[in-house]
Structure 1
Amino acid sequence: MLKRPLGNTGFQLGPIGFGAFKIGRNAKIKYPRPYDLPSDEEVANLLDGLIDLGIEHFDTAPAYGISEQRVGNWLSGRDAPVVVSTKVGELFEDGESRYVFDEASVRASVANSLRLLRRDVLDIVLIHTPHDDVAVLKETPVVQTLQSLKEAGDIRAIGLSGKTPQAATMALDWADLLMVEFSAEDAAHAAVIEEAARREIGVLVKKGLASGHLPADQAIPFVLNQTGVTSLVVGGLNLKHMADNLRIAEAALSQESL
């Protein structure tokens, strides 16, 4: 599989990453249809199948219910070359989301992610923001706390998973990578993505299929052919759909290289 560098992080990622929301949470969701959480066996089969396809980036978060725990349980029994990204800032407890960006909470979140994912070092940690992401960056110590944890060796790469181009632009001054919303329906981050490429800062794209509202055969090439994008993170529980997405992605990149 063709892999591309994630900025200067040292990670090489394939064109499609796996968004692990649906293996951990099915309450207060934004998806149009409800779904049952898969069993432990179904999760293991799904993750095994993703590795067999060559998908080796799993994106999770504390806000994704039991997702981190399930990814960690699966990793504990396998020697798989997986890059795992997780997040700080948003928590989902007792059926409600809340946001905490103070130093103690961020440090506790990273420590808990290390425990749940059963890792000595976290590959990637992103700031998981609400809509007022600019205020989070300006008014809280979350950036400085993540920088300190990276310097201490707890994290390899840090960045922002925000909402607005303004916050993403601010993050270019300190981030190793960005995770941004970008699709044929919403290209507001295009200029930030291009600037990140100039600075050799990695870019992961979320919601590239507009939560399922765009056809994959059009949406995926649009995202991956944008200069600066390393990979598109796609969620789901259907291994065939993930295989189809990967096939479309590889065809788009093959066409681009001609």
Structure 2
Amino acid sequence: MTLHEHYRPLGSTGLLVSPLGLGTVKLGRDQGVKYPNGFTIPDDEQARQLLALARELGINLIDTAPAYGVSEERLGPLLAGQRDKWVVVSKVGEEFENGQSRFDFSADHTRFSVERSLKRLRTDRIELVLVHSDGNDVDILRNSGVYQALAELKQEGKILGFGFSGKTVEGGLLALEQGDCAMVTYNLNEQAERQVIDYAAAHGKGILVKKALASGHLAPGEDPVRRSFELLFGEPGVSSAIVGTINPRHLTENVRTAAAVLANVRS
């Protein structure tokens, strides 16, 4: 079972995305990440095999960010020759240096960051760029200039859509008024941002879900992964959920479970 026949529209962007996306923080950074177990960053051959497996399983969405260490730099050469097969999501706003995050939402830094991501990814466009919020969602959107800069970059064709990865309902709703997409936390443990998903469904906006499996912290019980996907894909507003595994077996199992759930949703 694969995801090839279950693609969903990313709001009104014209992009079709697989209902699971591959998160790549573990390709670029192993400091300050909130997973229950430690891990080793895959080498280039392991990363190449992981991307090939993801494509084979029907995944076409890949999620990266400047704050993910060297993730973008590694993806550039890894995606060579297959760039058109992927919908790439990156971010602006957060920089991760010397084990610490710092944030800059100014228009100048936003433009600098996107241009740098284009070079790192060795591409002429990024399908979707999200603002990596520090939690002050409404202030960022109203006072920083980040959205205006992203709107200009979209007009120039350097990005095809933009949106916001925030932490509050107010931020998510405000982000969707002017942007194309919001990334929200939504899982069996946390459902505070449900209102943002409902708004997106009603207004033709995209929703990406982060921490779909609670970063590996789901309570044990009757197949928590299946229950998670039943929750997510029962929501018409959800475009795709990002899973950050680097384990080929876990990736395959997640896709099979998601495909089975989606087949039930369609029938």
Asked if these proteins are the same fold (TM beyond 0.5), I'd say yes
Q: Which runs of 4+ in 1 moved over 2 A?
A: 77-80
| TM-score, L = length of structure 1 | 0.97
Q: Deviations over 1:191-239 (max 9, x none)?
A: 2111111100011111111111222121122111112111111001111
Q: 2:236 aligns with which of 227, 231, 234?
A: 227
- Matching residue's letter, 1:180: V
- 1:5 Cα deviation (Å)? 0.7
- Matching residue's letter, 2:87: V
- 1:79 Cα deviation (Å)? 5.3
Question: Counterpart of 2:182?
Answer: 178
Q: Is 2:97 the counterpart of 1:88?
A: no
- How do 1:59-74 residues align onto structure 2 when only pairs under 5 Å count? 59-74=63-78
- SS in structure 2 of the partner of residue 87 of structure 1: strand
- How do 1:24-63 residues align onto structure 2 when only pairs under 5 Å count? 24-63=28-67
Question: Counterpart of 1:142?
Answer: 146
- SS in structure 1 of the partner of residue 195 of structure 2: helix
Q: Is 2:227 the counterpart of 1:218?
A: yes
Residues in 1 aligned to 2:13 and 2:208: alpha-carbon distance in whole angstroms:
12
- SS in structure 1 of the partner of residue 27 of structure 2: coil
Question: Counterpart of 2:221?
Answer: none
Tell whether the 8 Å contact from 2:36 to 2:217 is kept in structure 1 after alignment.
no
Q: Is 2:20 the counterpart of 1:16?
A: yes
Question: Counterpart of 1:121?
Answer: 125
Of all paired residues, the percent bearing the same amino acid is: 42
Question: Counterpart of 1:243?
Answer: 252
Question: Counterpart of 1:98?
Answer: 102
Question: Counterpart of 1:195?
Answer: 199
Residues in 1 aligned to 2:188 and 2:52: alpha-carbon distance in whole angstroms:
31
- Unmatched tracts of structure 2, length 5 or more: 219-223
- Matching residue's letter, 1:257: R
- Matching residue's letter, 1:233: I
- 1:47 Cα deviation (Å)? 0.9
How many pairs does the alignment contain? 258
- 1:137 Cα deviation (Å)? 1.1
- SS in structure 2 of the partner of residue 240 of structure 1: helix
- Unmatched tracts of structure 1, length 5 or more: none
Question: Counterpart of 1:155?
Answer: 159
- Root-mean-square deviation (Å): 1.1
Residues in 2 aligned to 1:254 and 1:40: alpha-carbon distance in whole angstroms:
34
| TM-score, L = length of structure 2 | 0.94
Tell whether the 8 Å contact from 1:221 to 1:248 is kept in structure 2 after alignment.
no
Q: Deviations over 1:73-122 (max 9, x none)?
A: 11124355110000000011122110001111111100000001111111
- 1:162 Cα deviation (Å)? 0.8
- 1:257 Cα deviation (Å)? 1.4
- Matching residue's letter, 1:232: A
Question: Counterpart of 1:257?
Answer: 266
